[in-house]
Amino acid sequence: MAIETRLTREWGLDLPIMLAPMALAGGGELAAACAEAGAFGLVGGGYGELDWTRREWGLATQRLANTAAAQRVGCGFITWKLDQDASALDWVLDQPLAPKAVFLSFGDPRPYAARIAASGARLVCQVQRLDQVPQAVEAGAALIVAQGGAAGGHGAAAATARSTMVFVPEVADWLAANAPQVLLLGAGGIADGRGLAALLMLGADGALIGSRLWASAEALPAAAAKAQAVAADGDATARSPIFDVLRRKDWPAEYDFRALRNALHREWEGREAELRADPAAARAAFDAAVAAGDFAGANVTVGEAVGLIRDVPGAGEVLHRICAEADERLAAAAAFRHT
């Protein structure tokens, strides 16, 4: 039995799931595979690198051209990077097959709202704090993603990161009282049907899924990185600024980065100020590890949900597994109510 929510009805989906727009990991093939499976696929435009966006958006649109799934694909960007250079956003909005949604996170979406609306795309805003929700509504967001701190990659800094379990219903209550037309997804730690079912019970219309689809056949990370994720448990990740310093990414202090705690990360834990003050040697070690495909030094960008990942199938199989399990869990809960 299909799971029907406002997301599936209003967005023309078969599955109440949206692919997280993972920078450098979620390319065109992954977004297209998710769209073909009946979810909503997002190319991870991330840092707004025009050549990367051109290539990956081109792969998605070539695969989806003249199919119904072309209505289920969009592109995501890091908002504070758009403040520096929005050329990739402008380019993708001007394509013959333009994105059906644009996903913005980590900054004020309002400067970009008019041009996104003019293209016909829906605006999706990811938030990490409750005080960001009114700003997203003011920008005209059709959908808000409440991101908990268990998420892989970037999110609210460890000191202020919210629990998905509490943050999602709090945002749901705010929207119900102030903007009931805006849809809500939950993110952070969702990797199987139990997580999707929980989000629906908490008041969300579906799930934004990153790490579980990061470990899929179509995702761009190296096979060795995916193998590291399969072998890890949820205790193996940490949220810190370490990899941002090593990668020369000048992120605002309110955000940091969750990945596996590999050997290089552990070397600098508790020494972040020292690393910022003199990063040259550590950056050289990181660069060498990336070049060699050595994930004792290179980052494996997954969240706490890594502990629920045990294989690397195609994205369509992942999505249908999640929804089948969620359907079973919801049916069991309904049956329990009536016993």
The 10s digit of each residue's pLDDT in 176-235 is: 999 999 999 999 999 999 999 999 999 999 999 999 999 999 999 999 999 999 999 999
More confident residue, 338 or 262: 262
Q: Is the pLDDT of residue 239 over 90?
A: yes
Q: What is the pLDDT of residue 173?
A: 98
Contact predicate 202/188, CB 8 Å: no
Percent of the chain topping pLDDT 90: 96
pTM of the model: 0.96
How does strand 153-156 pair with strand 255-260? antiparallel
Find the mean pLDDT for residues 27-37.
98
Q: Is the pLDDT of residue 16 over 70?
A: yes
Q: pLDDT (tens digit, 9 = 90+) per residue, 75-86?
A: 999 999 999 999
User: Residue 64: pLDDT band by 50, 70, 90 thresholds?
Assistant: very high
Q: What is the pLDDT of residue 46?
A: 85
User: Residue 276: pLDDT band by 50, 70, 90 thresholds?
Assistant: very high
Which residues, other chains included, contact 152 with Cβ-Cβ below 8 Å and sequence gap of 6+?
210, 211, 214, 237, 258, 259, 301, 302, 303, 304, 305, 306
The CA distance from 225 to 212, in Å, is: 13
CATH architecture of 6-221+311-337: Alpha-Beta Barrel (3.20)
Q: What is the pLDDT of residue 319?
A: 98
Q: pLDDT (tens digit, 9 = 90+) per residue, 130-177?
A: 999 999 999 999 999 999 999 999 999 999 999 999 999 999 999 999
Q: Is the pLDDT of residue 31 over 70?
A: yes
Q: What is the pLDDT of residue 178?
A: 98
Contact predicate 103/77, CB 8 Å: yes
Q: What is the pLDDT of residue 339?
A: 59
Q: pLDDT (tens digit, 9 = 90+) per residue, 295-339?
A: 999 999 999 999 999 999 999 999 999 999 999 999 988 777 665
Find the mean pLDDT for residues 257-266.
97
Q: What is the pLDDT of residue 2?
A: 81
Instruction: Give domain limits for the chain.
Output: 6-221+311-337, 223-292
Q: Is the pLDDT of residue 107 over 60?
A: yes
Q: What is the pLDDT of residue 33?
A: 98
Nearest to 60 by CA among 111, 101, 10, 119: 101
Phi and psi angles of residue 118, each rounded to the nearest 5 degrees, phi first: -65, -25
Q: What is the pLDDT of residue 338?
A: 63
Query: What are the distances in angstroms from CA 274 to CA 239, 242, 282?
Result: 18, 11, 11
